[in-house]
Amino acid sequence: MSNEVLSYGMVGGGIGSFIGDVHRKAAAFDGKAKLVAGCFSRDFENTRQTGANLGLDPDRLYRTYAEMAETEGARADGIDFVSIVTPNNTHYPIAKAFLENNINVVCDKPLTFTPAEATELVDLAQAKGLLFCVTYTYSGYPMVKQAREMVRQGCIGEVRTVVAEYPQGWLATPVEKSGTNRQAAWRTDPNQSGRSNCVGDIGSHIENTVAYITGLKIKSLCANLDIFGEGRSLDDNAGILVRYDTGATGIYWASQVAIGHDNGLKVRIFGTKGSIEWEQENPNYLRVALVDQPVLIYSRGGGYLYPAAAELCRIPAGHPEGYYEAFANIYTAFCRALLKKKAGLELTEQDLDFPDAVAGLAGVKFINKCVDSSAAGSVWVDLD
């Protein structure tokens, strides 16, 4: 157990924010990172109060992200990385500011509004030699890692078809008009969410989780985006047919009007020799099937897991680890890589096994192509 601890700052996540605390708990979980600076809100009073609650040094609370990036970038003991947990529309300029000040970045997804912006961030991080993590939470689950390893090892043969869904029901009624649901308000607002709500928020998780497990690249897609909620201007349901570069095909369904579902991300991968199924709401298990054999239920922590999955399990099988632990796994992977980098060591592919800016760019492309396809009458569009 290394006892070096990274220091980090946060943009967004002030009082009233939900996701900020999730990031902070995730970053702290394995003791690899300590929050020391913040610009938690456009409202400095909020930042001040949040910082006080968190026991931060008042000198490292900032009125603007730009000031924070510049100041922390200049400090000898400046933050090792920044966590950006603001609404989608601000990711791009904030991330850019910190990269320019030589600060590594962890950023919420979707990375940016446009592929051009995302590409710029990818290139900038690359040019600066900085690490950039996009928090696609679900790739942090041990059983997702196990699925990825199984596909890579050929356990299910060549992938033929993928069926993935992400149903939620929380926007089935117009809660964004209630005045009390802040999340609903900004998610359904194109100014803050961008060109898509449903695909942007959760469809992109399907895209990333499938890509992470299978390594498949989408060649073209045909998307039908629905707006069911009265008065909405952004999608709240989507059906997407997908063709991958290998000839495999896929069907994605994302919905925020699927009453009866809370957060039902489910991915099924069918290959020539077998299949793998994972569900986010019961994330400690994997359903595996091989031709003409009984179905297998893998358990998180089971001794038969691949090392890459086993090492993400902190407690024995049957003791559920959930969302926070998955989130923490992403932060911990990022921090490990960063510690190694700081120590001047070379980073292997395995060290870099966290969702990065390139994955973030793929997500932004996916979202935009889905909107393009649907807007043109749900025609097939190429990804590149």
Interaction with a second copy in 289-328: which residues (CB under 8 A)? 289-299, 301-304, 314-325
- Residue closer to a second copy by CB (options 65, 366) is 366
Q: Which of 35, 17, 15, 36 is nearest to 25 (CA)?
A: 35
User: Which of 191, 239, 206, 251 shows the shortest CA–CA distance to 363?
Assistant: 206
Contact (CB, 8 A) for 108 and 84: yes
Q: Which is nearer to a second copy, 129 or 307 (CB)?
A: 307
Contacts 24+ apart (CB under 8 A), 59-62: 60/9, 60/36, 61/37, 62/37, 62/38
17 forms part of the interface with a second copy (CB under 8 A): no
Asked if 15 is part of the footprint of a second copy (rule: CB under 8 A), the reply reads yes
Which of 249, 310, 341, 358 is the binder for a second copy (CB under 8 A)? Answer: 249
Q: Is the dihedral of CA 309, 314, 320, 326 positive or negative?
A: negative
The dihedral built from the CA positions of residue 277, 140, 281 and 265, taken in this order, carries a sign that is negative
Crossing angle (nearest 10°) for helices 204-214 and 142-152: 50
Contacting a second copy (CB under 8 A), which of 70, 169, 185, 192?
Answer: 169
Per CB under 8 A, does 360 bind a second copy?
no
CB of 106 to a second copy, least distance (A): 19
Query: Quick check: 361 binds a second copy (CB under 8 A)?
Result: no
Nearer to a second copy (CB atom), residue 80 or residue 120: 80
222 binds a second copy (CB under 8 A): yes
Tell the smallest beta-carbon distance from residue 182 to a second copy (Å): 13
Other C-beta atoms closer than 10 Å to the C-beta of 242 total: 25
Least separation in angstroms between residue 121's CB and a second copy is: 27
Number of residues in contact with a second copy under rule CB under 8 A: 93
Check binding of 186 to a second copy (CB under 8 A): no
239 near a second copy, rule: CB under 8 A = yes
CB nearer to a second copy: give 38 or 283: 283
Residues 258-277 that bind a second copy (CB under 8 A): 258-264, 268, 270-275, 277
Question: What's the closest the beta carbon of residue 124 comes to a second copy, in angstroms?
Answer: 32
Query: Per-residue x/- marks for a second copy, 34-63, CB under 8 A?
Result: ------------------xxxx--------
- Is the CB of 97 or the CB of 288 nearer to a second copy? 288
Quote the tokens at residue 329: 């796994």
Q: Which is nearer to a second copy, 107 or 276 (CB)?
A: 276
Judged by beta carbon, residue 66 or residue 155, the one nearer a second copy is 155
Instruction: Tell how strand 159-167 and strand 33-39 pair up.
Output: unpaired
**CB-nearer residue toward a second copy: 125 or 339:** 339
Tokens describing residue 257: 């009007």
Q: Is residue 250 within 8 Å of residue 256, measured between CB atoms?
A: no
Q: Work out whether 170 is an interface residue with a second copy (CB under 8 A).
A: yes
- Return the biggest CA–CA distance within the chain: 65
Please report the DSSP string for 142-200 in residue order: HHHHHHHHHHHTTTT-SEEEEEEEEE--TTSS-GGGSSS-HHHHHHT-HHHH-S-SHII
